[in-house]
């Protein structure tokens, strides 16, 4: 007697012909349906778009996207698309009316004998969020025969008021336990490993505090520029695009207290506590920059204001550096430095914990030497892993110190890592919200960083291919600190 057939869940993507679906979601969905357990392998995917496509055209688009991403061969992608994909076009329907979509979802659930469980994934521009959410509620798509889970991408609001308004709108149709706000950085293995690294290794957790740490720096540097996103980016800027979301999340994981368990809300409670304990950002503690013409990887780059689609007098920041204080018992008085920018010298996402120097230095002047504090560098991309810097004595009679690194690389131990989307999609299907951002997290983050939007620092130019404005170096220099070299 054969095994009973697994009844598939239905994964509905609104905005299924856009850039996110092409670059991230399709490869992730292909990966989890071909390499995980039977429940995910049976997943039924319904793409929705306003393009007047047929199902055949949508499947052809999916095959081209998977081949271009090197996620599958053409024959494998074709067979996969025929087995998993369906399509719904809104082209012939009145705007903001999802009655036709409801009919097709019910038809899919009947003919494909699905489990009755639904994932509704908004892969749409932010301005489309409110009308789409209202239409979902009006059509009753938020309630089905099984569970329904609602997934929404960033940016989640443009400030505190809009984030609160969006949360209220979502909560009219969905309970918070059904809402999954994606920050794809949280799906990366190295980000998840922060919890393991800190709380499974007493060697590090015992020194993870103001008694042993001098400062912490978090860098998310991008070599790329706007990449055909000028219309979005010029209305958004680096603070909304990166600081309020990605960097704030990395900060919470680095600074949080030990949760009572790994249950989702216990972890997220501790992250919210970090955001609530952040001191107000003083004007002198924030640096905004905008790139000018320069060279990145040997290629000439035009200045931001001369990029196609950017306003010639634009004051949008492409670089942010900020000093933050965490008013907690563990971190009081210890600065956290955050920076991010477009067209910087190299691609790098890294957390550096710089430990204090010995209180008494009795080695005296050393040949060609200077005192180096111990540092722990946790690299999230591109070469995922960590390095622990320490001092050793050079061989020979004289006392001469030299810095060396202990290192671990994920690629050496486990091979290439995914970009985080397969992990996050599987967590949605499993109902695990640990790696997703809760409503109060979003609002607390906007509370901290929103004032910089109302009273922004002046924009300082920096050449493309550099590490940002000189003022970003001076931000640390006032306290005798400096950014860790890449």
CA 305 to chain centre: 26
Which residues have CB under 8 Å from 432's CB, separation 6+?
A: 264
Catalytic residue chosen out of the listed positions 215, 246, 343, 407: 246
CA 140 to chain centre: 31
Q: What share of the chain is helix, strand, coil (3-state, %, to 5)?
A: 40, 20, 40
Q: Does the CA dihedral 242-243-246-250 come out positive or negative? A: positive
Which residues make beta-bridge pairs with 44? 10
In 3D, which of 244, 448, 219 has the Cα closest to residue 341? 219
Which residue's entry shows tokens 């620092």? Answer: 457
Residue 382: is the preceding peptide bond cis (ω within 30°)?
yes
Distance CA 429, CA 29 (A): 12
SS3 296: strand
Beta strands in 161-244 (DSSP E): 179-181, 213-221
Which residues make beta-bridge pairs with 119? 11, 149
Residue 246 bears catalytic tag: yes
Given a contact cutoff of 8 angstroms between Cβ atoms, the answer to whether 5 and 44 are in contact is no
Distance CA 308, CA 126 (A): 21
Which residues make beta-bridge pairs with 348? 221
Active site residues: 246
């Amino acid at each position: 007697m054969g095994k009973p057939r697994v009844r598939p869940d239905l994964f509905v993507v609104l905005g299924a012909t856009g850039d996110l679906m092409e670059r991230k979601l399709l490869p992730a969905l292909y990966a989890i349906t071909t390499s995980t357990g039977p429940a995910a392998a049976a997943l039924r995917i319904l793409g929705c778009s306003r393009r007047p496509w047929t199902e055949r055209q949508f499947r052809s688009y999916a095959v081209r996207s998977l081949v271009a991403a090197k996620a599958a061969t053409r024959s494998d992608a074709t067979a996969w698309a025929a087995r998993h994909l369906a399509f719904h076009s809104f082209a012939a329907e009145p705007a903001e009316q999802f009655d036709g979509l409801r009919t097709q979802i019910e038809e899919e659930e009947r003919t494909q004998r699905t489990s009755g469980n639904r994932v509704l994934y908004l892969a749409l521009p932010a301005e489309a969020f409110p009308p789409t959410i209202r239409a979902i509620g009006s059509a009753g798509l938020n309630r089905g025969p099984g569970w329904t889970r609602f997934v929404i991408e960033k940016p989640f609001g443009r400030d505190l008021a809009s984030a609160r308004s969006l949360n209220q709108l979502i909560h009219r149709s969905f309970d918070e336990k059904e809402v999954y706000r994606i920050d794809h950085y949280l799906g990366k293995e190295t980000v998840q490993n922060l919890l393991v690294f800190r709380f499974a290794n007493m060697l590090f957790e015992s020194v993870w505090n103001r008694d042993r740490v001098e400062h912490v720096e978090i860098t998310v540097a991008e070599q790329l520029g706007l990449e055909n996103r000028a219309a979005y980016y010029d209305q958004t800027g680096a603070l909304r695009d990166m600081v309020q979301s990605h960097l704030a999340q990395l900060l919470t994981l680095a600074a949080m207290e030990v949760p009572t368990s790994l249950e989702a809300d216990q972890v997220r409670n501790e992250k919210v506590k970090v955001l609530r304990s952040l001191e107000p950002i003083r004007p002198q503690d924030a640096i905004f920059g905008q790139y000018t013409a320069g060279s990145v990887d040997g290629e000439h780059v035009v200045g931001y204001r001369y990029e196609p689609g950017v306003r010639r007098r634009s004051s949008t920041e492409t670089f942010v550096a900020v000093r933050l204080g965490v008013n907690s018992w563990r971190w009081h008085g210890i600065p956290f430095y955050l920076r991010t920018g477009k067209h910087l010298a190299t691609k790098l996402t890294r957390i550096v914990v710089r430990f204090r120097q010995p209180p008494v230095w009795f080695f005296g002047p050393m040949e060609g030497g200077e005192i180096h504090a111990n540092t722990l560098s946790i690299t999230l991309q591109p070469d995922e892993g960590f390095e622990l810097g320490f001092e050793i004595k050079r061989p020979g009679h004289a006392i001469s110190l030299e810095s060396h690194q202990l290192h671990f690389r994920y690629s050496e131990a486990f091979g290439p890592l995914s970009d985080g989307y397969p992990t996050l999609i599987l967590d949605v299907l499993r109902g695990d919200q640990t790696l997703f951002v809760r409503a109060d997290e979003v609002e607390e983050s906007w509370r901290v960083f929103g004032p910089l939007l109302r009273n922004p620092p002046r924009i300082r130019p920096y050449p493309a291919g550099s590490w940002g404005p000189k003022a970003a170096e001076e931000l640390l220099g006032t306290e005798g600190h400096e950014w860790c070299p890449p």
